[in-house]
Amino acid sequence: MRRNQVAVVGAAETTELGVIPNVSQIQLHADAALNAIADAGLKLSDIDGFATAVETPQQVAHYLGITPTWVDGTSVGGCSFMLHVRHAAAAIEAGLCKTVLITHAESGKSNIGRTPRMIGADSFNGQFELPYGVSTPASMFPIPVLRYMKTHGITHEQIASVAVVQREWAAKNPRATMKAPITVEDVLNSRMIAYPFRILQCCLVTDGGGALILTSADRARDFPQKPVYILGTGESVETPMVSQMQTFDSSRAFRVAGPLAFKEAGITHKDVDHLMVYDAFAHLPLYGLGDLGFMPHEETGKFVADGNTRPGGKLPLNTNGGGLSYMHSGMYGMYALQESVRQMRGLAPAQVKGAKISVCHGVGGMFAASGTIIFTNQN
């Protein structure tokens, strides 16, 4: 994909975030979509490309009353929406469509109209993990993260500091679920979930959704909002067991998607003003810092603990509060994208002054997939 040829012209989350027991999952899709369409100054009839995950594209398109000429139902976990952005940009460049709507919604807390997630008996997880009790994220991550800590000298206190710093960002965000300040001691004394994770190191479980609208850079100049250009993209997938049970160390998909995006964008790490890293658990931002190449893994814990990612730090990270404090409906990637767009528009509650380049990096399916999108407000 060529740089700066496609732009985000509409971005919005659902009207409410948190616990929304009176709205079904597909209604959350519609709410987010209509908010993003209004943000872009469009009508539903202007949409000719559509992408979503979990729900099938035809279900949501039918509910919205649109008939797109290009669709994408890629569903690889929480980073699916990063992949949708990449695929939509390619489709727009290829002339397959002009205006793409990407939606995400989950009734993750209230479970209203939500399709249950199933583990197939013939899947790798069903055959080799589920019989031994490995069935949820909290039971999948501990073994790899303990090996990661041992290999790279990461301490419990350093991982806890990730949650502390992100709560500082959340305190600046009126829509964040959790705003009260916390300390490293608070995190390490909170209720144990699955060693080494305590509840303040685990993501929230909420309801909500979000939507993005993309079009060509040439057309973007005519929209009411300031365009946010796509500078670089990357994606990768792999077998989760290979990543977690053989390497015991971050994710090969992480290490493929990020460098692809940096190469396409033609930037170095020093050019990055703002960073979003998917944080279903507190250790993931450390993985992201290392795998994206900002620093060796051995330095990531100290980098965060020393305050480099907090408000006023040299590398603002997860400035909405992340999945730990902002919200996490189950697939967090859309909310990370939303914050990157807000930062590039200059509209974020905790705005990074003068930010010109934002890197948004996600993981999905227990490290089975990764997607990276690099945004800029310069063209």
Residue pointed to by tokens 């528009």: 345
Please tell me the total number of residues recorded for the chain in this structure.
379
First to last CA, the chain: 15
With CA atoms as reference, report the closest residue to 305 among 177, 190, 166, 193.
Answer: 166
In order of 84, 206, 376, the CA distances from 212 in angstroms are 10, 20, 16
| 22 vs 323: CA distance, rounded Å | 23
- Catalytic entry in 148, 229, 287, 326: 326
Vertex 81 angle, CA 78 and 84, to 5°: 140
* Catalytic-labelled residue, pool 148, 229, 278, 335: 278
Question: What SS3 state is found at 360?
Answer: strand
- 335 is annotated as an active-site residue: no
The percent of the chain in helix, strand and coil, each rounded to the nearest 5, is 40, 20, 40
On whether the CB atoms of residues 344 and 358 are closer than 8 A, the answer is yes
User: What pairs with residue 352 in β-bridges?
Assistant: none
Task: Look up residue 187 and give its two tokens.
Answer: 């995190």
Tokens of 126: 């069903």
Is residue 148 part of the annotated active site? The answer reads: no
Query: Active-site positions?
Result: 278, 326
